[in-house]
Structure 1
Amino acid sequence: MNWSLSCLEKVEQLNFASNQFYGMVPEIVCQLGNLVNLSPSDNYFRHVGPVCRRLIWRAMLDIRRNCIPDLPFQRSVVGCYAFFSHPGFVPTVQHTVSFPCRLD
């Protein structure tokens, strides 16, 4: 996921469930002003920042079945370990291209 997601100013619902995403749930997505429902559930995210945590407590962010140690309803330690130790897993930042929201 990249910064271009911040261009989705009017989006109300986003479903990123079941995609094998990992890393941190992007704070930029949790800051979208019209967002009422975000579901990155059933992935392998390992961290949630403060903005996204506020959405969890307001029941707007479904973070179940990830690998976030301090949250309930996560994948098992064994399941997370299996994913991150897979030979094809590369824990580095992927090169992504960001597109501007507006062309000025």
Structure 2
Amino acid sequence: MVKEGICSAFVAIAAVTITVVMTSIANAAPPEIMEANCRGEASEKMGLRMPDIETKYKKQEADGTHTVSGTAYVDDGEKTFQCTLDAAGDDIVGFKVN
């Protein structure tokens, strides 16, 4: 009886956790919008034309922020960078050139 109660509680906690994670992803801006925002930020910060920049949505982090990484094609090769967007995926809260 105790085992069944513990298992039921675990299943309930897991279901709530999955629901919260899926809801937070569903409420965020679409990945394409986050990629476009990051691309624009990279263009501005790195002084490059948009066609010289590629971005790819990576994931939602444990803290709720979203990660988009990218590659900028420059005269002497490539530079990679990363944007961090808020939980809603609307605002860039971090930009780093690797």
Task: Please give the range of the TM-score, normalised by the shorter of the 2 chains.
Answer: under 0.3
More strand by share: 2
TM-score by structure 2 length? 0.21
Larger radius of gyration: 2
TM-score by structure 1 length? 0.20
More helix by share: 2
Higher RCO, Cα 8 Å, sep 6+: 1
